[in-house]
Structure 1
Amino acid sequence: MTTDKPSHLLAGRRPVLEALKAGRPISRIVVAEGAEGGSLQEILARARRAGIVVQRAPRASLARLAGVQHQGVVAYAAAHTYAEFDEVLAPRPGSTPLLVLLDGVADPHNLGAILRTADATGVQGVVVAKRRSAPLSEVVAKAAAGALEYVPVARVSNLVQAMERLKSAGYWLVGTDVAAETGYTQVDYTGPTAVVIGAEGKGLSRLVKEHCDYLVRLPMQGSVQSLNASVAAGVLLYEVVRQRQR
């Protein structure tokens, strides 16, 4: 395992609660003065059981600490670790293998949203390239709304080589491309599948395209001929779910 930094600030009730549920190491939690209700009681109860220090501070102090919407709670946690590539190859028990590969998705909000959808659709892991990818930051954790605790993210030096390994392991690689002739519903996703999503505004790189088994397009009826990366990922992943539930 590798980490980007020695500590990590979680902001918001859902990310903090999911980190506590997942047993992630947390050194202390800071709660805004006057904050109460909702999931805060469960956060405080879990913190007490785990022996985690809880401090009260002015709401303005939390805003300076977090720099993002904090909902009255921030936590100092160990930095998120990247999984090894071999770890994400193992499917979830009782499920058909399903992965997401991201080719240069650098927007942390998009990465977080993709992780949230990945968790909802039973994805066993997400694979990103070391270069041109958003790190696992507090912004990603906030956008993921707790999903970062449950969906492992593997970081690889060469995405194309990872794709070749997946093919050898029996995966079919399906990438999105606005110029593709095949519609996204015309592919069979019922076998081991890796959905490949490209960078915002750029799409898939040439070599990544060439290593996909299928390139599919999403119908576009408006004037803008591209979709946000997280939206495109969501459309494909729910098509996978639809086909596998038939």
Structure 2
Amino acid sequence: MSSTQLFGIHAVQAALEYSPDKILRAWVDSQRQDARLKQVIDDLAALGIQPEKTERKKLERMAEGKNHQGIIVSVELPAMRSEDQLKRDVEALAEMAFYLVLDQVQDPHNLGACLRTADAVGAHGVIVTKDNAAGITPTVCKVASGAAETVPVYQVTNLARVLRWLKEQNIWIMGAAGEAEQTLYDMKLDMPLALVMGAEGSGMRHLTRQHCDFLVKIPMAGQVESLNVSVAAGVLMYEVFRQKQVKR
């Protein structure tokens, strides 16, 4: 079983709300007694977890200099889901599908940030490749701020095969590419959709691009050529979200 540590009141509250059964241990500052921290301690106690009173210097070493706000918890890492589970979940959907697909995105900070935005827009999951890609790690969980527990992450061995299957389920495949002729604001995106983002620097692989139904770009008015992949994914996901809200 793999585990990670979460630091700070907000992160611990998120764990209490979304995955209380994954909390393994807790440590609290023995000198701190404010109301917010006391509430978190009470919530942990209600789960049968008695936080260990610890000297502040030890907490600081455990947190490696991060702002722990007097509390650290150890939690079991979320499990990656399989291609078979993805198929079952897609077939069980009772609403319009919306997935984010990351084609060999390797930076765990990008994956964590994508998960956080995917949660915010109500995406049904994030699909990642097994090879040359980030999976669920402690860093991903920290950056995701609870979203690694709420957004399913599906790890697949053959992305092209998965994209073909999604298309058979009447889900449109939209790829993000800087050289696309159409911008995301030119497109009607209120439909079952899988948004594909390419890797940092290299973008989508050729075979992945071939399986896209259409490509879009984010209009750029400045001098930089592209956005960070998690920022670009956020812009694209929120335009999909906006269009769905307008229809309602």
TM-score in same-fold range (> 0.5): yes
C-alpha distance in structure 1 between counterparts of 2:174 and 2:144, whole Å: 23
Aligned to 1:54: 51
Q: Structure 1 stretch 120-129 or stretch 100-109: which is displaced more?
A: 100-109
Q: What secondary structure does 1:245 align onto? A: helix
C-alpha distance in structure 2 between counterparts of 1:88 and 1:13, whole Å: 33
Task: String of CA shifts for 1:146-201, please: whole Å, max 9, x gaps.
Answer: 11111111111121111111111111011111111111122222111011111122
From the superposition, tell whether residues 50 and 198 of structure 1 become closer, same or farther in structure 2 (CA, over 3 Å).
same
> Residue 113 of structure 1 contacts residue 144 of structure 1 at CA under 8 Å; is this kept in 2?
yes
Tell me the CA shift for residue 54 of structure 1.
Answer: 0.6
| Structure 2 counterpart of 1:144, one-letter code | A
Q: Counterparts of 1:117-128 in structure 2 under 5 Å? A: 117-128=117-128
Matched, 1:9 2:5: yes
Q: Tell me how large the CA RMSD over aligned residues is.
A: 2.1
- 1:81 is aligned, of 79, 82, 88, to 79
Q: Structure 1 stretch 57-66 or stretch 223-232: which is displaced more?
A: 57-66
Aligned to 2:223: 223
Q: Which protein has the bigger helix share?
A: 2
Consecutive unaligned residues in structure 2, runs of 5 or more:
none
Size of the alignment, in residue pairs?
A: 242
C-alpha distance in structure 2 between counterparts of 1:44 and 1:159, whole Å: 44
Tell me the CA shift for residue 43 of structure 1.
Answer: 2.2
Aligned to 2:155: 155
| Structure 2 counterpart of 1:21, one-letter code | E
Counting aligned pairs with the same residue, the percent is: 39
Task: String of CA shifts for 1:22-42, please: whole Å, max 9, x gaps.
Answer: 233222111234345474333
| Structure 2 counterpart of 1:157, one-letter code | T
Q: Counterparts of 1:202-241 in structure 2 under 5 Å? A: 202-241=202-241
Q: Structure 1 stretch 126-135 or stretch 57-66: which is displaced more?
A: 57-66
Q: Counterparts of 1:105-116 in structure 2 under 5 Å? A: 105-116=105-116
Q: What secondary structure does 1:75 align onto? A: strand
Larger radius of gyration: 2
Aligned to 2:14: 18
C-alpha distance in structure 1 between counterparts of 2:36 and 2:128, whole Å: 32
